[in-house]
Amino acid sequence: MSVGRPRYGSRSPIAQGGRSFPFPPILALLVVGILLGHRSPEAIAQLADDYGGEFALLLGFPRRRLPTASMLSKLLPRVDVAALEAVLTAWMAARLPPEDPLVVNIDGKCLRGSARPSAQLPGTHLLAAYAPRVRAVLAQLRVDARTNEHKAALELLDILPRREGGYIFTGDAMFTQTEVCEAVRGRTDDYVLVVKDNSTRWRLTSTRGWHSRPPPRLFPPEGRVPPTEPQPGPRLARSTEKGHGRVEHRQLESTSILTVHSRWSAPEL
């Protein structure tokens, strides 16, 4: 994947010695520097001495020189993070098969090393939309200390560009909220969320509807090609995988019977 392809701006806003540097190679330099463990502008600028002028040309710079630490320090605070992430998100989405649904996991984590217990700083909490197929974060935003993840998820859904094939959003019980599901269905996307004991009403509703379902059918039937037309009733899928010294058996059952037993926000599901 070429990090120099997305067009955020052809020139950086800072010029050094009367010369300007193109922004895509600067972005590539920052990515490579961070992957190599360099966390400061000074350490990233040191790559010029470590790898020589050819390294600058490989990144896309027109000359055999890299920006200095001072130039990077002045540039980074002026980058519009939201605009840059939007460009990168659209760039990655455009390179996926548009007709296939894309599974995206929504999850929140505290940024490693951001917490400062001695200063009573809890750390930077980020909510990210991660696509396992491309092993990339499509979008992320900071969760304010005065809100929670499911409120931030509503903003995250607005950031992600729509796709022809749509998305299948997954998440833990934190996101099993009516407004989150309404926002997903409002985009004509789908969701797979967890119902736990902390949501007593929905757990009881799900349990009651699940026990009243007819016996599931194995899908696809062994030795047969999957049907092209949707089949009524519950469906069951099983898989067995071996690796890392263990055998894993997985079973997934799907049914629409819960729409009869609940008044969930998306009755068409």
Residue 123's pLDDT is 72
Residue 2: what pLDDT?
43
Give dist(CA 14, CA 8) in Å, integer: 15
Domains and their CATH numbers in the chain: 15-79 (no CATH), 81-112+120-194 (3.30.420.10), 199-269 (no CATH)
Closest CA to 2 of 94, 97, 91: 91
Q: What pLDDT shows up at residue 88? A: 79
Beta strands in the chain (DSSP E): 15-16, 19-20, 102-110, 125-131, 136-142, 167-171, 190-193, 217-218, 235-243, 246-254
Predicted confidence (pLDDT) per residue in 105-119, tens digit: 998 887 776 666 666
Asked if 217 contacts 210 with a C-beta cutoff of 8 angstroms, the reply is no
Q: Is the dihedral of CA 127, 131, 132, 135 positive or negative?
A: negative
**Quick one: pLDDT at residue 232?**
53
Q: Which residues of the chain have pLDDT under 70?
A: 1-19, 113-122, 146, 197-234, 255-269
Q: pTM to 2 decimals?
A: 0.63
Q: What is the DSSP string of 146-206?
A: TS-HHHHHHHHHHHSPP-SS-EEEEE-GGG--HHHHHHHHHTT-EEEE---TTSHHHHHHH
- C-alpha span between 202 and 218 (Å, rounded): 26
Burial class for 264, CB neighbours closer than 10 Å (0-12, 13-18, 19+): middle
